[in-house]
Structure 1
Amino acid sequence: MFLRLAEFCVRRRRLVLLTWLLALIVAGLLAGAFAGPSVTNFADDQRTESGRALALFNAAGGGSVADNARVVVATDPSVPDGVRNPAVRAQVAALRDRITALDPATGMLDLYTPGNPSDVAISPDGTVGYTTLTLPSESDTVRNERVSQIKDAAASFSAPGARVDFAGDWFADQAPPGIGEAIGLTLALIILLVAFGSLVAAGLPLLTALAGVGIGAVTVMLLQNVIDTPGFAVSLTVMLGIGVGIDYALLILTRFRTALADSLPVDQAVLRAMDTAGRSVAFAGVTVSIAIAGLMIQGGATGPTMTIAGCAGVLAVLLAALTLLPALLATIGTRVDRLRMPWRRADTPAADGRWARRWSGWVQRHPWAGVVVALAVLLILAIPAFDLRLGFGDAGNRPTTDTTRIAYDELARGFGPGSNGPLILVTELPGDQASGLAELGALGGQIAATPGVASVSPPIPIGQVDGRPVAMLSVTPTTGPQDTGTTTLVHELRDTVIPRSTLPVQVTGAAVGGEDYAELTLDRLPLMVAVVLIFSFLLLALAFRSVVIPVKAIAMNLLSLGAAFGVIVAVFQWGWGMSLIGVGKVGPTEAWVPVVLFAVAFGLSMDYEIFLVSRIRERFLTTGDATGSVTEGLAATARVITAAAAIMVCVFASFVFFDDRGLKAMGLGLATAVFVDATVVRMLLVPATMEILGRANWYWPSWLRRLPSLDAVHRDSIEPTPTGRTATDPTSTVPEAVRG
């Protein structure tokens, strides 16, 4: 199949190039005309109590919590009467007039009209006040446009000694769009120039990746019309597609240039590259996609949307690598090394692998030392992972210059830390509303006496659902939304206090929604991990005809992931170096990050396992030398794996330039996992363990020999004949007992 596809792309190169060009043009037009809106909200998952309570609250006419923000007015202690100062009141009134004039769907309550304390309040010392701002809820795009207009309206607020800020995720400062992608691409281009020394050769992987990413991103944008997709999904598609796409194209391009150096004609060089590296790339892409598809087990919002975002990027760039790239290579031919960099010397493959042979030789002479050192590094990096705490960050984690962080700190100063994350208790009342409100009020009195509670509002009727009245209590904790004390309070209310009432009370709120979502994620995580590991084992076992290699690969990949989780905890929960990546305060790890990181990083780790071990196995099947095959396999792949890993680390590390805290953690984790995997694991732990195990690496029980083989997916030394068939069988010199 690979040769037939490659032959078609070579023979019909112009048709393939024209098809891709038209596809990209059509994709751009479709994205401009039919891209769906993104909807970012993890709090309304109705598999959780908080999600069901939020749905009841909204259905009763309480409005969506996600649609509301706060306008926070704060004054210096020197301002007479604080926010009630006449000059401040005049400016607040003028701001309210400007905001409410923008759109009938945008409303700002009067700060100075008494009402529900959860909507409007002035602090006891009079220096801080807040009022509720309701935003249109059609989509992220509509909200973002209105937020920009509101910020412009607030720019003219000029009361002496006073300032106005906004509390709500929509008002967080945003970096210029595309800055993360631009940084990642720039660093990737620099590495490619260093690796290839030619502008043409360096540009081909970038061009291939960008073409695939364009199709993948548009696919996600169009699917947003039929499935609620968080705003960062397209960014994940783009960055994952760029990193994987450049790597895949890099591997194929390297084999193509090697074939040209062996004096093969251009068309035959393309066929060799596609029938060797192309097979490994295809298998690697499928493996990554299967790992990502394991996210479907999570269900809810994360499962389908993150699966779509990840697989769209990977499969689109895989398609580009298997079709567009061979057509480009056949067209460019020997001009692939044009526009050489002045520092580039002639390629010397033997010299390129010399350092890898020396390194492999040292590791194989001291295998147990290599294993001990590698395990020590990985386990030390993984130690912080035992302190992993899932949840969601909030404005308190943002830089201190962000308007939402300023508002967060001012609210904590005026009303206590719990004011930034009040708990909302929602219930349906019995037929007699008066008696129901009385019972709810009695429950509020018991809650007020509970340790950890700062204040409780009186019962507030909010509407009806199916003819039954619905009411709420607003509970302000003494601790902030991310504090463990708030989580403890929620469990105390749910397990002890609320059951004393006969009312069906449910608890929701931003902090509660995050904790509930985190618990749901953890509940489903073991099943997801088990499914991904089982499928990975089966694929690798059938590919390498070994039961030892898959077990070893899975164990090593889990160690790499442990190191990645450890670094995330150290930075985002312990605060080590957090200011370097724009994190303002420590907090929990975003609940969706571990599951997505596991799926993506595990799949990517399998890529390097396939690229390295397939070369080792090819040499072993040819020579039967267990030690020499490791040395030759490492020498043949060290340069390309190093370059590929460096590119992927740079691309993923550029995630830290995104504003979203979860994307920052995701990027840091992926960069760490890839770096550790390509260095400590592939360059130290793999050769050391393979030397220790020797021929046992390729153990394949006789009773499994009837199973189908995927061995042909990673042939690495075959010589395509003019008809595309292999001239030799590399297994012919190896005994049947070894081949399996």
Structure 2
Amino acid sequence: ERAKGHTPQEAAGLATGTAGSAVVFAGLTVVIALAGLSVIGIPMLTKMGLAAAGAVMIGVFIALTLVPALLGFWPNAVLSRNARKRGRIKEGGQNNGGSRWARFVLRRPLPVLLLSVAGLGALAVPVMDLQLGMPGDEAKPTSTTERRAYDDLAKGFGPGFNGPLSIVVDARGATNPKAAVTTIEKKIKATDGVVSVSPARFNPAGDTAMFTAVPSTAPTDKKTQDLVKTIRNQRPATEASTHGASFEVTGTTALNIDMAQKTQNALIPYLIVVVGLAILLLMVVFRSILVPLKAAVGFLLSVLAALGSVVAVFQWGWLASLLGVETTGPIMSLMPIFLVGIVFGLAMDYEVFLVARMREAYVHGDNPRQAVESGFRHSARVVVAAALIMMAVFSGFIGASESMIKMIGFGLAIAVLFDAFIVRMAFVP
């Protein structure tokens, strides 16, 4: 706006009135994605989501109030050093990298669309083999004492020794509590996949007991997950033979399995809530049905492709050595939720900034093709810069020794890469 000849005060007002509205709606989509984590029902995620959503709201408030106020004190802070010396600002030309790329895409819309969808679809295929869990000491580098201890215990006592199942028996309703506990012990020991059962320990009252069952497979093995399900499925028959006792399967291994199942079950409702609310918000912004639907489809493509890449690297082991991944295994149970929540907010940010500028050009008289070019000419650099910043931040986590941190960093970085440079730069135009 300064380049168009407006005074500093007018330029700040116009920018706040145009780009400021994009900031508000982009911020609201991020708030929806982060606050929506509360629907999953895991307190830790609820706290993280609400705290991050609050930080975003503060960021939006600062952009609309503090930034224009500071420009009132330092009106030339937005200008380059040369522009300050010359005393005039050269307006950007009609051609830059963004507009040239937009014209390239608009000349070949169908091939670009098919190539982007096919490429992201192919990267999403590994999602069909997704296995969720919580990587433990077995995923740490062999140089750590935890990993060496894990390997020694597995070698000496079997892989399941690192992840025993805790069985808690409530025998207060049984006529003979000790006999009831013994019955449950024998039933669980006879289950396929259990190699040993420890002697039961009773409370002082003698009506509650606890013992451990050691599986034959590692804590993150699919067979261990099946074993927990089998023991729980057989629980009604086992409890019936005790005449009044009941038991529960718990412990770290069972807890991780339950958390993975809970997040997996919550993923679809979370997507429906977040994407549905964002579509309604974008309908208000753009007065359109197609634009919000296209934004949601593009996001799903990028997040599925990113999750597929995570599965290919951390579960299948493709290119794992390049990232320093020493042991493959299940994907961290919270990974899909993190990807959806954070990447959705960023994706809608990029979408709003690009398309809002296109709509602004269209309202001012440009035809649709010119409006798309104008949107890219003015906003492509902002989106590219924002995406590169986020990719740099997330890529820094890949160098961590912890497998979970490495996985989060890789997943988020590649998701931003797909969404900003393939979906928003190719699929959208």
TM-score (norm 1): 0.54
Classify the secondary structure of the residue corresponding to 2:167.
strand
Q: Which amino acid aligns with 1:423?
A: L
Matched, 1:264 2:16: no
Matched, 1:504 2:246: yes
CA apart distance, 1:677: 1.3
1:622-667 per-position Cα deviation (integer Å, ceiling 9, x unaligned): 2251222212222222222111111111112223345654443333
The 2-side partners of 1:302 and 1:384 are apart by: 28
CA apart distance, 1:460: 1.6
Contact 1:521 1:592 in 2 (8 A): yes
RMSD of aligned residue pairs (Cα, Å):
2.3
Q: Which amino acid aligns with 2:72?
A: A
1:455 corresponding residue in structure 2: 196
Matched, 1:444 2:185: yes
CA apart distance, 1:557: 0.9
2:326 corresponding residue in structure 1: 584
CA apart distance, 1:570: 1.6
1:34-74 per-position Cα deviation (integer Å, ceiling 9, x unaligned): xxxxxxxxxxxxxxxxxxxxxxxxxxxxxxxxxxxxxxxxx
2:107 corresponding residue in structure 1: 365
The 2-side partners of 1:281 and 1:335 are apart by: 20
> In structure 2, do the counterparts of structure 1 residues 424 and 349 end up closer, same or farther at CA, with 3 Å as the change threshold?
same
Equivalences, count? 419
The 2-side partners of 1:432 and 1:381 are apart by: 55
Superposition pairs of residues 538-687 of structure 1, within 5 angstroms: 538-623=280-365, 625-658=367-400, 661-687=403-429
Classify the secondary structure of the residue corresponding to 1:260.
coil
Out of 356, 381, 395, which is 2:123 matched to? 381
CA apart distance, 1:438: 2.6
2:149 corresponding residue in structure 1: 407
CA apart distance, 1:370: 0.8
1:492 corresponding residue in structure 2: 230
Contact 1:463 1:471 in 2 (8 A): no
1:323-349 per-position Cα deviation (integer Å, ceiling 9, x unaligned): 332233333332445678xxxxx9772
Unaligned runs of 5+ in 2: 83-88
Query: Structure with the greater relative contact order (CA < 8 A, sep ≥ 6): 1 or 2?
Result: 2
Contact 1:294 1:531 in 2 (8 A): yes
Percent identity over paired residues: 39
Matched, 1:293 2:35: yes
Unaligned runs of 5+ in 1: 1-258, 341-345, 688-740
Q: Which amino acid aligns with 1:459?
A: A
Structure with a larger share of its residues in helix: 2
Contact 1:561 1:598 in 2 (8 A): yes
Q: Which amino acid aligns with 2:146?
A: T
Contact 2:120 2:302 in 1 (8 A): yes
The 1-side partners of 2:10 and 2:289 are apart by: 35
Contact 2:3 2:91 in 1 (8 A): no
The 2-side partners of 1:616 and 1:432 are apart by: 72
Matched, 1:515 2:257: yes
Q: Which amino acid aligns with 2:187?
A: Q
Contact 1:260 1:266 in 2 (8 A): yes
1:147-205 per-position Cα deviation (integer Å, ceiling 9, x unaligned): xxxxxxxxxxxxxxxxxxxxxxxxxxxxxxxxxxxxxxxxxxxxxxxxxxxxxxxxxxx
Larger radius of gyration: 1
Superposition pairs of residues 235-384 of structure 1, within 5 angstroms: 259-337=1-79, 349-350=92-93, 353-384=95-126
CA apart distance, 1:355: 2.9
1:16-48 per-position Cα deviation (integer Å, ceiling 9, x unaligned): xxxxxxxxxxxxxxxxxxxxxxxxxxxxxxxxx
The 1-side partners of 2:370 and 2:252 are apart by: 58
Superposition pairs of residues 62-461 of structure 1, within 5 angstroms: 259-337=1-79, 349-350=92-93, 353-430=95-172, 435-461=176-202
The 2-side partners of 1:309 and 1:457 are apart by: 44
The 1-side partners of 2:79 and 2:221 are apart by: 57
1:221-250 per-position Cα deviation (integer Å, ceiling 9, x unaligned): xxxxxxxxxxxxxxxxxxxxxxxxxxxxxx
> In structure 2, do the counterparts of structure 1 residues 331 and 664 end up closer, same or farther at CA, with 3 Å as the change threshold?
farther
